[in-house]
Amino acid sequence: MRFPKLFRSIRRLSSHLLAIILGVALTVSTLRVLPSLAEPAPNSVAADTPELIAQRQSPAAAAIGNTSFVTAAVNRVGTAVVRIDTERTISRRVDPFFEDPFFRRFFGENLPQQMPSEQLRGLGSGFIIDKSGLVLTNAHVVDKADKVTVRLKDGRTFEGQVKGIDEVTDLAVVKINAGNDLPVAPLGSSKNVQVGDWAIAVGNPLGFDNTVTLGIVSTLKRSSAQVGISDKRLDFIQTDAAINPGNSGGPLLNDQGEVIGINTAIRADAMGIGFAIPIDKAKAIASQLQRDGKVAHPYLGVQMVTLTPEMARQNNSDPNTSIQIPEVNGVVVIRVIPNSPAANAGVRRGDVIVQIDGRPITSAEQLQNIVEDTRLGQVLQVKVQRGSQTQSLSVRTAELQNAS
């Protein structure tokens, strides 16, 4: 009886031992297989890591990479960017009150006849456009200056001679005598510039020489009227590259290091908005300034604003309005300058210009550009809406004598 029980116990023990042996074998087999399956994983992760990192980079970091295109662009311009220092002497006379005999009777005759002279100093930027020493800058940088000093990046300074100024486009050409092998800034083309392109401003803001700032082109063809400079005739490149006083006249570069604009203006009531004159416009003006010292600009002689039917209705519904305006699209004349081409042709305040030479007019900027592109003395056929009537007037353009 005891043998069957013993046999059953041995059989159970054998089953347990067999199960343990099989479990150990499976475990060992698994340990041998798992490392072989896991080995490719680090290689796969390592292979994907650069792609994952690149996806996490900002657009600017991805574009710049290990070698900065900004550095390459600035190096291409090199030493062609200059600093321009100006001096202007202002003499002030004594108030006429001090010259009154009654006043002198009490205070003596040793009063000054003239106040001491005052020295005004200015700072701007520019860049060399010809090996002979022609420098392009802003008109407001050198206008009315008694002395102009041009400082090169290597520290050399030269007296600058102003060859020509055009206040209407805020451009000027200065000549320095520094030999015939000066570095020249490569000029690009502003017609190829697009919104979103890189923009690199180079200059001397606030006296900090050789400063570079980076941004993008924010918009194109921003009119001087929109910027708040009504006495200029320009369509600016708008950029968010930092521009500060002292940057005026310096170049705005693209990512290839080519000059696409001339930094010229900022708005005091805004941050991160600057404006540059397109280089294509500057090229044409600079050549005329080198040749003639000035640029002739045609004009009509009106002050005007863009008009829409909605604006006209608002004006006409105002009981205090001094004039009723036709409710049409066009340009309404606010003021006619006496003895101007417009005045001589019969243009009146309140007229709405709707066509010039058969071309529909929808904005003041459009009309100004048409006039700017005409020849001096050219006759323009101007159609105006005057009340309920349409008038056709012939206006002969004349030369603008004073930008202000």
The closest alpha carbon to 89, from 19, 140, 147, 26, belongs to: 147
Mean pLDDT of 338-344: 95
The pLDDT score that the predictor gives to residue 108 is 55
Quick check: 342 pLDDT over 90? yes
> What is the CATH code for 190-292?
2.40.10.10
Mean pLDDT of 81-89: 93
* pLDDT, tens digit (0-9, with 9 covering 90-100), for 277-319: 999 999 999 999 999 999 999 999 999 999 999 999 999 999 8
* pLDDT, tens digit (0-9, with 9 covering 90-100), for 98-154: 555 555 555 555 555 555 667 788 999 999 999 999 999 999 999 999 999 999 998
Contact 191, 280 (CB under 8 A): yes
Instruction: Give the whole-angstrom CA distance, residue 192 versus residue 202.
Output: 20
Quick check: 321 pLDDT over 60? yes
The DSSP line for 298-324 is EE--EEEEEE-HHHHHHHHH-TT-S--
* pLDDT, tens digit (0-9, with 9 covering 90-100), for 216-245: 999 998 888 777 777 788 889 999 999 988
> What is the CATH code for 298-399?
2.30.42.10
81-175: CATH class: mainly beta
Instruction: Give the whole-angstrom CA distance, residue 29 versus residue 288.
Output: 89
Strongest mean pLDDT among 86-90, 190-194, 230-234? 190-194
Which range among 65-79, 221-235, 319-333 shows the weakest confidence by mean pLDDT? Answer: 221-235
Which range among 34-38, 340-344, 362-366 shows the weakest confidence by mean pLDDT? Answer: 34-38
Question: What DSSP character marks residue 114?
Answer: B
Q: From the CB of residue 322, how many other CB atoms can be counted at a distance below 10 Å?
A: 8
Please state, for a pLDDT cut of 90, what percent of the chain lies above it: 58
Q: From the CB of residue 241, how many other CB atoms can be counted at a distance below 10 Å?
A: 23
From the candidates 85, 125, 140, 166, give the one annotated as an active-site residue: 140
CA atoms within 13 A on the CB side of 162: 21
From the candidates 190, 248, 297, 363, give the one annotated as an active-site residue: 248
Which residue is it, tokens 């209705």?
A: 313
First to last CA, the chain: 131
* pLDDT, tens digit (0-9, with 9 covering 90-100), for 237-276: 999 999 988 999 999 999 999 999 999 977 767 677 899 9
Single pTM value for the model: 0.71
Domain boundaries, the chain: 81-175, 190-292, 298-399
**Cα dihedral value 48, 50, 51, 56, nearest 10:** 130
Is residue 170 among the annotated active site residues? yes
Q: Name the band, by pLDDT with cuts 50, 70 and 90, for residue 94.
A: low
From the candidates 85, 125, 166, 170, give the one annotated as an active-site residue: 170
Same fold, 81-175 and 190-292: yes
